[in-house]
């Protein structure tokens, strides 16, 4: 390791994990380095809570770093650092030095300028921006990725393409292979809670619904509210329903999917238009219905129903369902001391979207009313207390009911 070399030094005790440095001296077992604070490579320290001690920001001199080696003999805690002009690539495979430190640094640099998508070969890394970036998904952006059936070279977007990596590019590559080679494609979206999997899925479904129904120059490409066939609308309108009944606020994510899903899209004819979809759900977190962790919520649908306006749930219907007390009056909703979302989304507006989606998927008013009655019945059953001696009496909300009467109410609703 040469004196003056640019390196990353691993330091698990530091919140940045990898520190930019330059080598002052080197031996077979250790190196002496000086932190390169002025290089612009250092990651900014995370925000600290008020109860945490402030870090020591006093100037630090050279530090001696014992070298750690892997079983194959490679140094694992002091790694070469790319030049400033080599650090920010759309495809990280192009990094001269490709390792954990250089990948994290490149992603940090791109994220700082709102470039949330980055390629590693065929893999697309997406970092949740935790803010709306409408310029990334507008009609003009979408037009650049729509497959042109009239073109003779509508092939995959190459890694050398000048456009930034995008979810649209991944969806287009899959659709291109379906059209040109008639092969089924799979797109795997994975990540930890709050990484943005739900939004990524919706964005890709929006791409397929819009691009599969139109040519490249069609005026129909106007965004998610543009005209579509019934099938395409139904594919997109499944999302509000799945989120209402399967998503919840957690400590890390206000719209966390509490279930897994496998979405299968089917295409037809030579132009491969969208013909239908099948969604399989699994691993629903059923325990959340009766118990939530502190500062988490039950499934969205309960709060949406209680917050619904009169245009969605009439006064008579609300009275019949006995929903006048709000979330605080139901045991299934008031245990975690949390009933609101932090992301600015209003439950009443979401319920309006959920109800509209039910209509779009062909549910009648009677069927929708039946679903809401079941949701209300679950809330009321959560307030039921069984006395020790069984059928003698039941309690709901502090009022005593005979076993026959509460059973009849539950069955009739």
* 192 annotated ligand binder: yes
* CA atoms within 13 Å, Cβ hemisphere of 353: 19
Q: Is 194 labelled as part of a ligand binding site?
A: yes
Distance CA(411)–CA(248), nearest Å, equals 27
Give φ, ψ of 411 to 5 degrees: -70, -35
DSSP 391: G
- Whole-number Å distance between alpha carbons of 125 and 165: 9
191 is in an annotated binding site: yes
Q: Count of alpha carbons within 13 Å of 168, Cβ hemisphere only? A: 21
Structure tokens that stand for 60 in this block: 């630090």
Residues in the chain: 413
**Residue 15 labelled as part of a binding site:** no
Look up tokens 């507006």; give the residue: 349
d(CA 245, CA 224): 22
> Which residues, including other chains, have CB under 8 Å from residue 17's CB and lie 6 or more apart?
10, 11, 104
| 32 among annotated binding-site residues | no
Question: In angstroms, what is the C-alpha Rg of the chain?
Answer: 28
What CA–CA distance (Å, rounded) separates 143 from 135?
13
**What angle, rounded to 10 degrees, do the helices at 347-360 and 365-381 form?**
140
Q: Copy the structure tokens of residue 110.
A: 């791109």
Task: Specify the 3-state DSSP secondary structure of 135.
Answer: helix
- Is 196 labelled as part of a ligand binding site? yes
**φ/ψ (deg, to 5) at 183:** -115, 140
- What backbone phi and psi angles, to 5 degrees, belong to 349? -70, -40
Which residues neighbour 110 within 8 Å (Cβ) at sequence distance 6 or greater? Answer: 88, 116, 118
Q: Dihedral sign for Cα 336, 339, 345, 351, please.
A: positive
- Number of Cβ within 10 Å of residue 87's Cβ equals 19
Q: Is 215 annotated as a binding residue?
A: no
Annotated binding site: 191-198
Annotated binding site for ATP: 191-198
């Amino acid at each position: 390791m040469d004196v003056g070399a640019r390196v990353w030094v691993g330091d698990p005790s530091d919140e940045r994990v990898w520190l930019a440095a330059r080598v002052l001296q080197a031996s077979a077992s250790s190196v002496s380095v000086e932190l390169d604070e002025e290089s612009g490579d250092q990651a900014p320290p995370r925000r600290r809570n008020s109860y945490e001690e402030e870090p020591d920001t006093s100037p630090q001199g050279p530090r001696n770093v014992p070298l750690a080696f892997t079983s194959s003999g490679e140094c694992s805690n002091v790694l070469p650092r790319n030049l400033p002009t080599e650090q920010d690539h759309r495809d990280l495979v192009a990094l001269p030095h490709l390792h954990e430190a250089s990948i994290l640094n490149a992603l940090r640099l791109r994220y700082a300028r709102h470039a949330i998508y980055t390629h590693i070969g065929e893999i697309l890394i997406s970092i949740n921006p935790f803010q709306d970036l409408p310029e990334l998904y507008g009609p003009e952006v979408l037009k650049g990725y729509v497959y042109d059936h009239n073109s003779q070279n509508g092939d995959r977007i190459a890694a050398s393409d000048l456009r930034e990596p995008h979810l649209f590019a991944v969806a287009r590559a899959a659709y291109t292979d379906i059209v040109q080679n008639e092969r089924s494609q799979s797109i795997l979206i994975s990540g930890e809670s709050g990484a943005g999997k739900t939004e990524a899925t919706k964005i890709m479904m929006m791409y397929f619904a819009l691009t599969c129904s139109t040519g490249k120059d069609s005026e129909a490409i106007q965004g998610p509210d543009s005209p579509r066939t019934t099938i395409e609308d139904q594919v997109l309108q499944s999302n509000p329903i799945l989120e209402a009944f399967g998503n919840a606020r957690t400590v890390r994510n206000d719209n966390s999917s509490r279930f897994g899903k496998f979405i299968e899209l089917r295409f037809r004819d030579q132009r491969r238009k969208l013909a239908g979809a099948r969604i399989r759900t699994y691993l629903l977190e059923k325990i959340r219905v009766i118990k939530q962790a502190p500062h988490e919520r039950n499934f969205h649908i309960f709060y949406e129903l209680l917050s619904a306006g009169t245009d969605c749930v009439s006064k008579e219907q609300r009275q019949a369902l006995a929903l006048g007390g709000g979330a605080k009056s139901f045991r299934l909703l008031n245990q975690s001391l949390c009933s609101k979302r932090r992301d600015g989304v209003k439950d009443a507006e979401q319920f309006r979207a959920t109800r509209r989606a039910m209509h779009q998927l062909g549910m009648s008013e009677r069927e929708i009313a039946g679903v809401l009655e079941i949701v209300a019945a679950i809330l009321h059953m959560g307030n039921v207390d069984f006395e020790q001696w069984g059928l003698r009496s039941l309690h709901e909300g502090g009022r005593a009911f005979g076993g026959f009467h509460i059973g009849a109410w539950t069955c009739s609703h």
